[in-house]
Amino acid sequence: MSSKKKTILKVIILGDSGVGKTSLMHRYVNDKYSQQYKATIGADFLTKEINVDGDRTATMQVWDTAGQERFQSLGVAFYRGADCCVLVYDVTNTKSFENIKSWRDEFLVHANVSSPESFPFVILGNKIDIEETKKVISVKSAQDLAKSLGNIPLFLTSAKSSINVDPAFEEIARSALQQNQNDADAFEEDFNDAINIQLDGEADSCAC
């Protein structure tokens, strides 16, 4: 029955203020870029229909969050039920890179995911269109970080020049779908377990 129901994949984009979360989302969903986005307050939301397994489609709900620390207390309302979390930093901003880990931890604390170790994250290093001299985060250090956080997939992107955005979101969709199915399976398992326990109980009583 659950397979007939349309799959909804919930994706959360986190990262410091101004790293390009909104731009990435709009580039992926609408294939557009604008200089005129206002700072996100709370969270913004866009959806995109995607193909999975050839003929099946799923809806990806992308939640673009506010980057300022003050808004983090909001997390719970938006993180819940996420299937994948995207961590974004700005390749020209050291601080935003250093904060990637704390964004991940922040998410795990608030999202209340079933198995934190296996929850899918994807890291995006954005703004690679900017001239080399202004880049402060080397590819190497980014790869090291991704590795240290549990082999998280890493993409270097540019929402402005549309570099690597689609491949990144394809990976995000894949991870989210995987997670979504894992959760569904886990639910099914739980359901079976519940029945088993009851049977066990009856068996016990018989043994007495």
Residue 78 CB: number of other CB atoms within 10 A?
21
Least distance from another protein to the Cβ atom of residue 173, Å: 17
The site for another protein, by CB under 8 A, has a size of: 25
Between 39 and 186, name the residue whose CB sits nearer to another protein.
39
84 with 175: CB under 8 angstroms? yes
- How does 91-126 read in b/e, with b if 16+ C-beta sit within 10 Å? bbbeebbebbeebbebbbebbebeeeeebbbbbbbb
Based on the shown chain and the rule CB under 8 A, indicate whether residue 109 belongs to the binding site for another protein: no
Between 36 and 151, name the residue whose CB sits nearer to another protein.
36
Least distance from another protein to the Cβ atom of residue 167, Å: 25
Between 17 and 178, name the residue whose CB sits nearer to another protein.
17
Least distance from another protein to the Cβ atom of residue 109, Å: 15
126 with 89: CB under 8 angstroms? yes
Map the footprint of another protein across residues 15-54, applying CB under 8 A: 17-18, 35-47
User: Where on the phi/psi map is residue 162: left (φ > 0), alpha (ψ -120 to 50), or beta?
Assistant: left
Tell me the longest C-alpha to C-alpha distance in the chain.
Answer: 78
Least distance from another protein to the Cβ atom of residue 32, Å: 14
Binding string to another protein for residues 58 to 87, with x set by CB under 8 A, is what?
-x-x----x-x-xx-xx--xx---------
89 with 38: CB under 8 angstroms? no
Residues that bind another protein (CB under 8 A): 17-18, 35-47, 59, 61, 66, 68, 70-71, 73-74, 77-78
